[in-house]
């Protein structure tokens, strides 16, 4: 008797889509060509998301770096206030990103 593909003991794995027959032998991830296939549209979308995140981070660090001199020189705020404004800006931006993750 030849062993069936994928099992050592020769038993056929239960049907993955049959939830009533699910056992410990039921695979958690179905390995099929259909699931591994990544089309060009998904790759382009991933590239757009990564470029958007890169631009967002560059903007954040650019604004955060220039916020203390701007508040001190242009707005003429007293000495401890520009650093407090920069810290408040950083904290607000990080909390907004947590809200955005929850929202999406």
pTM assigned to the model: 0.57
- Stretch 32-36: mean pLDDT, rounded? 58
- CB count, 10 Å around CB of 86? 19
- Cα–Cα distance, 18 to 59 (Å, whole number): 50
Helix axes 80-103, 40-69, angle to 10 degrees: 160
Please count the residues of the chain: 104
Residue 54's domain comprises 19-103
Domain membership of residue 12 (yes or no) is no
Look at residue 100 in the predicted model and tell me its pLDDT: 86
pLDDT at 6: 52
Task: Establish if 48 belongs to a structural domain.
Answer: yes
- Considering the domain boundaries, does residue 6 fall inside one? no
Confidence of residue 47 (pLDDT cuts 50, 70, 90): very high
Does the pLDDT of residue 78 top 70, yes or no? yes
- Rounded CA-CA distance 36/1 in Å is 32
Extract the tokens encoding 104: 């999406």
Higher-confidence residue of 32 and 43: namely 43
Structural tokens at position 76: 């003429």
DSSP 8-state code for residue 35: H
Number of structural domains (the chain) is 1
* Between residues 58 and 24, the one the model is more confident about: 58
Q: Is residue 77 part of a domain?
A: yes
């Amino acid at each position: 008797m030849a062993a069936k593909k994928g099992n050592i003991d020769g038993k056929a794995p239960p049907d993955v889509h049959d939830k009533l027959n699910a056992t410990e032998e039921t695979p958690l991830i179905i390995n099929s060509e259909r699931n591994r296939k990544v089309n060009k549209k998904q790759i382009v979308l991933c590239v757009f998301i990564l470029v958007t995140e890169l631009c967002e981070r560059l903007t954040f660090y650019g604004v955060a770096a220039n916020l203390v001199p701007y508040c001190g020189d242009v707005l003429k705020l007293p000495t401890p206030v520009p650093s407090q404004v920069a810290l408040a800006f950083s904290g607000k931006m990080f909390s907004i990103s947590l809200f955005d993750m929850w929202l999406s």
